[in-house]
Chains A and B, each alone.
Chain A
Amino acid sequence: MIQFRLRGMIATAKREARMIKADKNILLIIILAPLFYAFFYTAIYYHKVELKPAVILVDEDHSSLSRQLLRAYETSQYLDVYVYPGPGSAQKAMEDLDGMAIIRIPAGFQSDRQSGKRVTVSLYLNNAYFLVSNDINKAVNEVTATFGAGIKLKILESKGENREQALAHIDPISVRSHALSNPSESYGNFMIPALFILVLHQTLLIGLSESMADERATRSLGELYRTAEGSTWALVMGKGSFYLVLYCAYAVFFLTIGLTFFNLQVAGSYLALAVLTVLMILSVIYAGIFLASFFTRKIVALQILAFTTYPIFLASGYSWPEGSMPVWLQWLANLFPGTPYFQGFSRIVFLGADLEHVLPELFHLLLILALGITATRLRLPKIAKWQAEHY
């Protein structure tokens, strides 16, 4: 029995290789697209961080203290400061997106400070762009806090403390922040590994679905079953083995050379990553074959599955926490192989997780795989029988 199945699987795999070789559309999706997309999309984040965002500064005080603060902002490596004469021109520049924030030093800044009053610097952030707004907010607060520490130092010295005492007293408790992953806290480091995986996931899903939909369109399911010696397992594994080998090779390439190209590396266990990735690819193979069994033409598979890229990624919990989504959506998202995969993947790649740390995700993927096997086992013989009866 096992011998028959293996023979059927090998025959199906050979048939699939011949079919792909003759089909330029599938070749484009599974050979050219993964390599092109993987590097073209990820290269968006080649610089990793958003360099120095433009910030508009309006100095209404024109005092020596305000100029000192202005210089402090200008020397920040995170800000590109442009001085504007007044609020009107500053607002216009913000409306034209020439600057992403306005810093306003009010009139009376120096005189208020000299009379011992607490002074305020206003910061107007363009929150229509989150990443830039967050970075400007962080940088302006850091520069202002450092500038304020200088003032506190002078106050403490004026109260009779020496420099050493004053330095010890300006900040009784501080925060020492240490990033356990992505030390530069760059958006690029976060997105690049995920994009590699998303390209793998989607080109595999679309390419294999096209191949399976073509079997339906050309009414060759009966012949496919005969090649697989009547076994659904041999059919799926035979058809899928070509993709399994190809996509495992892509995964090795992307997660080693690809990441190294962007100065990234896997912090955790390669074994855990390999097991998780093989399971994800297998799950996508079964999901692809099952989904494609509903498409009667190859192009329909491409048209519909092209829409799944964003939903699969956004619902995976990689960028937006799964717990913050409605419960029905969490249940639905948990049916996608990408959901457990991305969760385990991010802990292995960024935090250094080992196999034991991602066991829940491995079991989750196994469950999805079992579901895929059951669904294809029930669905494929049914449509093959229908085709045999009708054509």
Chain B
Amino acid sequence: MTKKPRSPWVQIAIREWNRILERKTYWLLMVILPPVLTVFIGSIYLKGSVTDIPVGIVDLDQTPLSRMLIRAIDDSQALSVEGHYLSVTEARQALLFGRLQTIVVIPDGLTSDAKSGRPGSVTVLKNASNLLYSNSVTKEISTIVRTVSAGILVRRFEAKGQQPDQALASADPIKVDTHGLYNPTYNYEQFLIPSLLAMVLLLGVMVVSVLVIADEFREGTWQEVLDLSGSDWLVIFSGKSLPHLFIHGLQSVVLVFFWFHVFGIHLSGSAAGAVFLLFLLISAGFFLGMAVSCWIHDEFLSTEVAIFFNTPAFIFSGLTFPLWAMPGLHQGFAGILPFTHFLRAWVKLAVMNTPADSWLGDVLILGGFSLLGIVLSLLFLYQSTRPGFVIEEAHPEVVV
């Protein structure tokens, strides 16, 4: 019995699979770099939140009240009293050397003013260049001072004959009951890791996908592809895409596993939804990269295009700085990046776990990028498979 010959589609797919296995660069970009970067970037934010921000104290009051304030600052998880200074000038020197982030000045006479009914104030001199520090310092010290201040006022109302409950209601008549949804503890690991790693994965996918066709031209093997496929552009497209999508699909499953089990990322939505969305992003990146590869046969230029569109994707996504605050040109650029739409869908589907009608539009746009990539790839491939097509001269160099 003679063995049935493999169809052109299977031959192209097997050939592409072997090309991936034979090339060190593909291995590096598809298999080694993603987990290495996952561990590296993921480990940066393992602690989740910033604690022990170094605070310097200038206590010019030296009273039980001032010592109570200092103790409260030191007891705060976010802050840590790093040193006591005799003057603001001395403390500012420590700030310039990087030993402090904030100086708290308790003025002389704070206690006596409080006792005699004169308003006093604690001065906070903060390094506001880093908002992470600045926001934490403002929140913590304001809460501490407000609590102490309310305590003084409560005693004053009690002295005027009010019951403790009434006195508290008079001293602090309106309370803001804050509920932080989706990430109640402001955990940076939860906030940044999934999106940062998805962006790195996308960059990897695109950097590889722009080589899929361009490499054939560089190595002078395009004629071999045409012969094997019978110059069928659909066969070339599907046969070459499948092995890449299989590996990238596996990557998205591994990445979600890492999030859950190594970094302890909590997702409100389902793991299946997370994998689905990641795969959609990967597909969009892959097919757009493939389109670039079919169009630009210079591997250097096509790689530069991939890097140009993907490196800034994170800062354009709106996660750390909102889209509506960017100039119109940048909002427009963000709109043509698949990652922006992935992130919006990601936040709704995986982080907020909202109903389908709220994220369906974003998912469809993301799918639209894949479709655009497929259509463009097929158009360019059709051109490159026509009988009159002239194959450019190869630049084989060293194949790694």
Residue A350 CB within 8 A of the other chain: yes
- CB neighbours (8 Å) of B41 from chain A are 310-311, 314
For chain A, what secondary structure do more than half of its interface residues adopt (helix, strand, loop), or is it mixed?
A: helix
Interchain nearest-CB distance for B72 vs A (Å): 12
The residue in chain B whose Cβ has the minimal distance to the Cβ of A308 is: B37
Given contacts A41-B312, A118-B169, contact A179 B186 (CB under 8 A): no
Complex Cα distance A264/B37, Å? 34
On whether the beta carbons of B174 and A147 are closer than 8 Å, the reply is yes
Complex Cα distance A34/B250, Å? 36
Residue B121 CB within 8 A of the other chain: yes
Which of B127-135, B253-261, B283-291 contacts its partner?
A: B127-135
Interchain nearest-CB distance for A298 vs B (Å): 7
Indicate which residue in A170, A306, A310, A328 contacts B196 across the interface (CB closer than 8 Å): A310
On whether the beta carbons of B207 and A306 are closer than 8 Å, the reply is yes
Given contacts A113-B173, A326-B43, contact A44 B129 (CB under 8 A): no
Which of B9-17, B238-246, B345-353 contacts its partner?
A: B345-353
The residue in chain B whose Cβ has the minimal distance to the Cβ of A189 is: B129
Residue-wise interface mask of B (168-196) relative to A, using a CB-CB cutoff of 8 A (1 in contact, 0 not): 11111111111111111010100100001
On whether the beta carbons of B123 and A178 are closer than 8 Å, the reply is yes
Which of A9-17, A130-138, A239-247 contacts its partner?
A: A130-138
On whether the beta carbons of B175 and A119 are closer than 8 Å, the reply is yes
Residue B315 CB within 8 A of the other chain: yes
On whether the beta carbons of B321 and A175 are closer than 8 Å, the reply is no
On whether the beta carbons of B325 and A351 are closer than 8 Å, the reply is no
Interchain nearest-CB distance for B336 vs A (Å): 14
Residue B25 CB within 8 A of the other chain: yes
Indicate which residue in B122, B307, B321, B322 contacts A176 across the interface (CB closer than 8 Å): B122
CB-CB contacts below 8 Å: B373-397 with A: 397
Interchain nearest-CB distance for B110 vs A (Å): 7
- CB neighbours (8 Å) of B43 from chain A are 325-326, 328-329
Residue B326 CB within 8 A of the other chain: yes
- CB neighbours (8 Å) of A47 from chain B are 325-327
For chain B, what secondary structure do more than half of its interface residues adopt (helix, strand, loop), or is it mixed?
A: helix
Residue B76 CB within 8 A of the other chain: no
On whether the beta carbons of B351 and A128 are closer than 8 Å, the reply is yes
The residue in chain A whose Cβ has the minimal distance to the Cβ of B196 is: A310
Residue-wise interface mask of A (175-200) relative to B, using a CB-CB cutoff of 8 A (1 in contact, 0 not): 11111111101011111000000000
Residue-wise interface mask of B (322-353) relative to A, using a CB-CB cutoff of 8 A (1 in contact, 0 not): 10111101100000000000001001100110
Residue B200 CB within 8 A of the other chain: yes
The residue in chain B whose Cβ has the minimal distance to the Cβ of A219 is: B398
Residue B31 CB within 8 A of the other chain: no
- CB neighbours (8 Å) of A138 from chain B are 135, 138-139
Complex Cα distance A309/B37, Å? 11
Which of A229-237, A255-263, A352-360, A369-377 contacts its partner?
A: A352-360
Given contacts A44-B315, A127-B184, contact A95 B354 (CB under 8 A): yes
Complex Cα distance A189/B321, Å? 12
Residue B21 CB within 8 A of the other chain: no
Interchain nearest-CB distance for A63 vs B (Å): 14
Residue A390 CB within 8 A of the other chain: no
Complex Cα distance A19/B102, Å? 51
On whether the beta carbons of B128 and A51 are closer than 8 Å, the reply is no
CB-CB contacts below 8 Å: A71-127 with B: 92, 95-97, 113, 116-127
On whether the beta carbons of B51 and A137 are closer than 8 Å, the reply is no
- CB neighbours (8 Å) of B124 from chain A are 175-178
On whether the beta carbons of B129 and A351 are closer than 8 Å, the reply is yes
Indicate which residue in B44, B181, B307 contacts A126 across the interface (CB closer than 8 Å): B181
On whether the beta carbons of B180 and A133 are closer than 8 Å, the reply is yes
Given contacts A47-B325, A171-B149, A321-B50, contact A155 B170 (CB under 8 A): yes
- CB neighbours (8 Å) of A140 from chain B are 176
Interchain nearest-CB distance for B24 vs A (Å): 9
- CB neighbours (8 Å) of B123 from chain A are 175-178
On whether the beta carbons of A177 and B138 are closer than 8 Å, the reply is yes
Given contacts A173-B114, A181-B128, A354-B96, contact A302 B304 (CB under 8 A): yes
Residue A25 CB within 8 A of the other chain: yes
Residue A220 CB within 8 A of the other chain: no
Residue A28 CB within 8 A of the other chain: yes
Which of B152-160, B226-234, B273-281, B363-371 contacts its partner?
A: B152-160
Residue A141 CB within 8 A of the other chain: yes
- CB neighbours (8 Å) of A96 from chain B are 358
- CB neighbours (8 Å) of B314 from chain A are 310
Complex Cα distance A114/B169, Å? 11
- CB neighbours (8 Å) of A311 from chain B are 37, 40-41
On whether the beta carbons of B178 and A123 are closer than 8 Å, the reply is yes
Residue-wise interface mask of B (55-91) relative to A, using a CB-CB cutoff of 8 A (1 in contact, 0 not): 0000000000000000000000000000000000000
On whether the beta carbons of A117 and B174 are closer than 8 Å, the reply is no
Residue B1 CB within 8 A of the other chain: no
Residue A253 CB within 8 A of the other chain: no
On whether the beta carbons of B119 and A171 are closer than 8 Å, the reply is yes
- CB neighbours (8 Å) of B177 from chain A are 120-123
Complex Cα distance A213/B160, Å? 82
Complex Cα distance A191/B37, Å? 23
Complex Cα distance A69/B174, Å? 11
- CB neighbours (8 Å) of B181 from chain A are 124-128
On whether the beta carbons of A310 and B200 are closer than 8 Å, the reply is yes
Residue A201 CB within 8 A of the other chain: no
Indicate which residue in A129, A165, A174, A297 contacts B149 across the interface (CB closer than 8 Å): A174
Residue B120 CB within 8 A of the other chain: yes
Residue-wise interface mask of A (283-315) relative to B, using a CB-CB cutoff of 8 A (1 in contact, 0 not): 000000000000011111011101101110011
Complex Cα distance A283/B207, Å? 27
Residue A227 CB within 8 A of the other chain: no
- CB neighbours (8 Å) of A302 from chain B are 300, 303-304, 307
The residue in chain A whose Cβ has the minimal distance to the Cβ of B101 is: A321
> Closest 3 interchain pairs by CB?
A179-B128, A350-B129, A118-B169
- 24 A-B pairs within 8 Å (CB atoms) are namely A43-B327, A43-B330, A44-B327, A47-B326, A97-B344, A121-B177, A125-B178, A128-B347, A131-B131, A131-B320, A140-B176, A147-B174, A172-B114, A172-B120, A172-B149, A173-B119, A177-B126, A302-B303, A306-B203, A307-B204, A310-B199, A311-B40, A352-B96, A353-B96
**Beyond A141-B176, A190-B131, A318-B130, 10 extra complex contacts between A and B, CB < 8 Å:** A95-B355, A124-B179, A131-B320, A172-B149, A180-B126, A180-B127, A181-B127, A304-B33, A310-B41, A325-B43
